[in-house]
Amino acid sequence: MLKQLQERWKVNNINLLLIICTFAIGGSLCGYAGRKILILTGIEKGFLWGAAYIILVTLLWPMCVLLISIPFGQFSFFKKYLHKIVQRITNKQPKPVSIAIFASGAGSNAQKIIDQFKRNRSASIVLIVCNKPGAGVLDIASNENIPSLIIEKKRFSEGDHYLEELRNKQVDLIILAGFLWKIPLQLINTYPQKIINIHPALLPKYGGKGMYGNRVHQAVIDAKEKESGITIHYVDEIYDHGKIILQATCPVEEQDTPETLAAKVHALEHLHYPAVVAELVKNKNPS
């Protein structure tokens, strides 16, 4: 049972123990406070006392566990936990997270992410942004009835960065899926820790300007690496530099070519990228 709770809440052993202690002490505190309050009212024990006690404990419990969670370092957990309870009671569904996907090529990762949120309504793909007229990702946008925006480099890099278009779509999260231009600083500052990229190698190796596609895979093979993989990371002002969210690996065989290695890496991308985006959405809008 404890193992199931640990997996469900995604916490380590120490935090699980602290959470259980918070539940226990918080419950005891609200029970004690409820009894003291009823003593002050002068209500005699009986049906009315029992009903009043249940109501009081129900009202006091959230405040008590939040209070106890602070010294135990679990305030963030219990804030989310209580938020989920309120949502279930009121049956209030959170607003779906609005995602813009930036892509430059065929859009296979974009398609996988779109498919992810056909099954999971916690997010909506509201815009496909592309810097190459005729790119395959624009066909995907058309087929999926998703609005698309073709951007021009000077305006993107030096102008208003298309911020008005993103705001009009109420974009919450930007996902880069094979987008080759550097993201301008103002866009990063507008969406701090809300722009995600995937790189076809194990950063910090084989990243930086010009390192994309088969150039990366050829560099990995030339260096006689034993493994390669993917890195999913937040975007900052430096190419392929932001905080790493997830890495996954695949073996590099002696007979591998850039094309065969690319196939292995693409398989990892399609497996992990939609799942990571879904987890980020879940953390932003817990349900």
- Active site residue ranges: 199
**Token pair of 14 as six digits:** 């120490």
Structure tokens at 142: 């058309």
Looking at this protein, which amino acid is placed at residue 12? N
- Side by side, which strands form the sheet with 227-234? 148-150, 123-130, 97-103, 173-176, 195-199, 227-234, 244-251
Query: Is residue 60 within 8 Å of residue 34, measured between CB atoms?
Result: yes
Distance CA 84, CA 9 (A): 12
- Listed in sequence order, the residues at least 6 apart from 90 whose beta carbon sits closer than 8 Å to its beta carbon are none
Query: Burial of 31 by CB count in 10 Å (0-12 exposed, 13-18 middle, 19+ buried)?
Result: middle
Which residues face 232 on adjacent strands?
Answer: 198, 246
Asked if 218 and 256 touch (Cβ cutoff 8 Å), the reply is no
Residue 119 sits at the vertex; the CA angle it makes with 172 and 96, to the nearest 5 degrees, is: 25
Buried-state track 167-185, b at ≥16 Cβ within 10 A, e below 16: eebebbbbbbbbbeeebbe
Do the beta carbons of residue 109 and residue 178 sit within 8 Å? Answer: yes
